[in-house]
Chains A and B, each alone.
Chain A
Amino acid sequence: MKMKNWKKTLAAVMSLVMTAGCLSSCGTKQTSGSGEEVTLTFLNCWQGSELPSGVDSEHNPVADVIAEKTGVRIKYLACTTSEIERLNLAFATNDIPDIINAPFQGAHNSHTIAIKKAASEGLLTPLNDLIEEYGPNLKDAWSTLDKDFLENDFEPENFEGEHYFFPTGVAATEADVSNNAYNVYARKDILEALGVAPESVNSSEKLYELMKKIKAGNFKDINGQDVIVSGTWHGGWTYEPFYNSYVSQRDMFSSFKHENGEIKLYQNTERYKDQILFMRKIISEGLFDLECQKQTSAIAVEKMATGKVAIVGGHYTKLKQELTGTLYATNPEMEYLPLGPIMNLDGEPYSQGQVRRKGAFGGVVMIGGNTKYPEKAMQFINFMNSEEGMLLNRYGIEGVHYTMVDGKPRLTPEWQEKYEKDPNSLKKEGIGLYGVIRLNNYISAYGESTYGVDPNEDKAYIRAKEASPLLLVDDVYSLNYVAMKYEKYDDILTLMQTGDGGLMQRAMYAATEEEALDLIEQSRDVYERGGIKEFEAWMTEHQNDGQE
């Protein structure tokens, strides 16, 4: 009997503990005994934002400083699925984190549509009054945006003068505009063996000739296996630089293109056809990785880290990030060198278009409409956007993680070494975790692109930027925004999202050029049946709308 009572008591205690545990994890906010400190959830809605093991976003040296200054602790939520799925999940279930950083490329981009819809339906907290009272550092948050981006996406008419999100990753000065140097990169040892200077490969056709030489050269990877002549990282990212010679940069900020005075859907232009035919040629001749369009990130990294792919499309930052500790350490002779610059259709060096200071990543920060502590959320965001907060987020705590050297913050030798051995070591300290900062000022304020690297002294990076320069543009009024005024825009949007059932992509894998051309025609028929011709005619008529 006694035993039974003891069991009952134990069961009751356990139930209480479990109930208390469940209740405490329900909801996202807790207040401490003093009632001053709150915990807010922060969704970093970018794929690959998972924290490395051993990182505690709520309790680390930087989190302690933030809590002391603002009374806010941040519970970090990563995005483990695609960004749009995560956003739709949050909005549709009304389970919206307190603070979110998410992609926002503008116009008909799916993230932009979802976020604007959420804002107009009251699921996001209006920012004007909060900024007025608690956010002085965000007062000019929209000042750098281009007119089209600003008036259509950040301040559309139905927001009635209110703001619901502000841009992040905006270059603080022109020096901070990041250039990842998108290009095609080839293994140095192969180029040397073939006697090909990387600068001499300045057109897609010359790239094709180089590919054929590599195929005939019987080159090997570090395991002695045959190389794949060319390829990409995960999911086909990115084969676009391969056909840079068939790209015009006149209208790079829009899905709709100028051709002979008319505005056309990109797929309906001659240059798009040429791009497809170029890809078909290299695929059919065994010069391009057949699997790369569907391969995972892990497979892609495995291939690059073993030097399996002789020519890779992508950017310098990715190569450096993935290969510094692997291929470049074991086989430095296999370093990937940028080719070109490859000349574009207009006879100029192909360059990445970038609207001046708009922000390279196109992300926005917003405060969820259900948050119990909008003021606290704004106080936290405001602090992180102060000079002190930005320095804390980038370098940690003075005297602990960094010291001032000639007026610039530099990691202490101890932390620099730790960082080089394990790039996640700084995250464990809370450095770089809280991505709510509007300005990217790493180069202009601190003189470093990454820790310990002065971009003006990184020769490989300088060469990569020369081969893929940035084209800074002002006063663009994208045709994407003109299109939004079309009466049946919603139908066109659905048509573009559904696409042609993959016909155009399939043309790349066609056995013959005739078959490819036939597939391209079929694809164009699909768009025509969807009403694209009427839309193109309307666009041609209204192409100058919005331009000043």
Chain B
Amino acid sequence: MRKRGAPTAQATVAKSEFRKTLVKIDRYRSLYFFLMLAAAWYIVFKYIPLYGITLAFKDFSYADGIFGSDWVGFKYFKTFITNPEFWNMVLNTVKISVLKLCFGFPAGVIFALMLNEITHSASKRVMQTISYLPHFVSWVVIVSIMNKFLSPYGGFINEIRGSFGYEPVFFMGEPGWFYPLVLISQIYKEVGWSSIIYLSAISGVDQELYEAARVDGAGHMRCIWSITIPCILPTIVLQFLLSVGNLMHAGFDQIYLMSNAANSHLSNVLDVYGIEVGIKGGKFSLATAVGLFQSVISFILVISANAISKRVSEISLW
């Protein structure tokens, strides 16, 4: 019979495991320090503000703040969903993000594969740096450059067209040019940056695989197709799953700046609506309801995509 208060064998094992963990943490404390910074960032900027979600169910009062305002249930969701433009906005948002996913997402992978094929290291570094730079430039600047380049009044592209005798085109205002320009500018701005993660995955591929393949007579394309892509596939799938979470977000800055009267039927998206009605119209509760709606759908999409991926490819986020 075991004495009262004596530790069980399980407890002893658990205690020693815990001690081992502490020893490990101590050994890698500098790495844990960096992890802590990231965790702190998430807690402060992503988790703590979650209490603000309640605003979607309240009538916001300046004086009472988020906590003190009165509950109104689903009033603002109803206002939002019964808005005559609701389906148009949802459709526009999904169209833009699906296009970005179909074209922008593979662009990063393809660019990483192309960069990997540059053997001259100095040229490779220059190319990488040049491709990262636009990521750090704000959309305001990018769209201003586009406006200048594509202007029907002395813009670079229209000047070239003019020299061949063609009439100028108002690219930024032609609805037909809206999606191509959204995609081109998105790829130009983000392709370099999104390729980083794939480049690092590629650098982890065992070089012996390539050597063995070359001995067997495989060329460049065969190596890419049969070695590089399968090896980085888990990274690609993980990135894809995370991108699916953005399907309800078309990107506020870019679309807001590129929207105008002529393309408004395409550029009227949820992100812009939230800002216009919420911040400019002072309807914070309605804006929060829009944001929450987007987040819940995104959450469902990520969960579903992850489940499908797990079943089909055995690669998943968790």
Contacts and interface: CB of A to CB of B under 8 A. Distances in A.
B282 A117 contact: yes
Interface bracket on A? 35 or more
A526 B281 contact: no
Contact of A291 (B65, B84, B153, B281): B153
Contact of B281 (A110, A118, A123, A228): A110
A497 B281 contact: yes
Contacts, number: 106
B88 interface: yes
Given A94-B62, A498-B85, A529-B84, A308 B262 contact: no
Contact of A506 (B152, B172, B261, B277): B261
Contacts of A299: 147
A503 B170 CA distance: 19
Interface in B44-102: 60-65, 79, 83-85, 88-89
Interface string B253-288: 000000111111101100001001101111110100
B261 A498 contact: no
B148 to A, nearest CB: 9
Contacts of A117: 62, 282
Contact of B153 (A308, A497, A527): A308
A495 B259 CA distance: 20
Interface stretch (A80-88, A412-420, A453-461): A80-88
Contacts of B65: 94
A533 to B, nearest CB: 13
A113 interface: yes
Interface string B138-164: 000000100100011110000000000
A122 B63 contact: yes
Interface in B292-311: none
Interface string A88-122: 10011010000000000000001001100110011
Given A88-B282, A123-B63, A494-B79, A293 B261 contact: yes
Given A84-B282, A291-B152, A121 B62 contact: yes
A501 B172 contact: no
Given A85-B279, A117-B62, A502-B265, A228 B153 contact: yes
A296 B280 CA distance: 19
Contact of B280 (A84, A226, A505): A84
B261 A508 contact: yes
Contacts of A295: 147
B106 interface: no
A436 to B, nearest CB: 23
A509 interface: yes
Contacts of A503: 264-265
B173 interface: yes
Interface bracket on B? 35 or more
Nearest to A369: B63
Nearest to A227: B153
Contacts of A505: 261, 264
Interface string A498-527: 101111011011000000000000000111
A530 interface: yes
B268 A502 contact: yes
Q: Which residue of B62, B151, B259 has the most chain A CB atoms within 10 A of its CB atom?
A: B62
A294 interface: yes
Interface string A216-240: 0000000001101000000000000
Q: Which residue of A498, A500, A503, A509 has the most chain B CB atoms within 10 A of its CB atom?
A: A498
A445 interface: no
B76 to A, nearest CB: 10
B234 to A, nearest CB: 41
A315 to B, nearest CB: 22
A484 interface: no
B151 A291 contact: yes
A191 interface: no
Given A291-B151, A501-B268, A530 B282 contact: no
Given A110-B282, A121-B63, A501 B261 contact: no
A228 B168 CA distance: 13
B85 A290 contact: no
Interface in A231-277: none
Nearest to A89: B279
Contacts of A82: 280
Nearest to A291: B151
Interface of A: 82, 84-85, 88, 91-92, 94, 110, 113-114, 117-118, 121-123, 225-226, 228, 289-291, 293-296, 299, 308, 491, 494-495, 497-498, 500-503, 505-506, 508-509, 525-527, 529-530
Interface of B: 60-65, 79, 83-85, 88-89, 144, 147, 151-154, 170, 172-173, 259-265, 267-268, 273, 276-277, 279-284, 286
20 contacts: A85-B280, A88-B282, A88-B284, A110-B280, A117-B282, A121-B62, A123-B62, A290-B152, A291-B153, A291-B173, A294-B260, A495-B84, A497-B277, A498-B85, A498-B273, A501-B268, A503-B265, A506-B261, A509-B173, A529-B84
Top 7 A-B pairs ranked by shortest CB distance? A502-B264, A505-B261, A121-B63, A509-B262, A501-B85, A526-B84, A290-B170
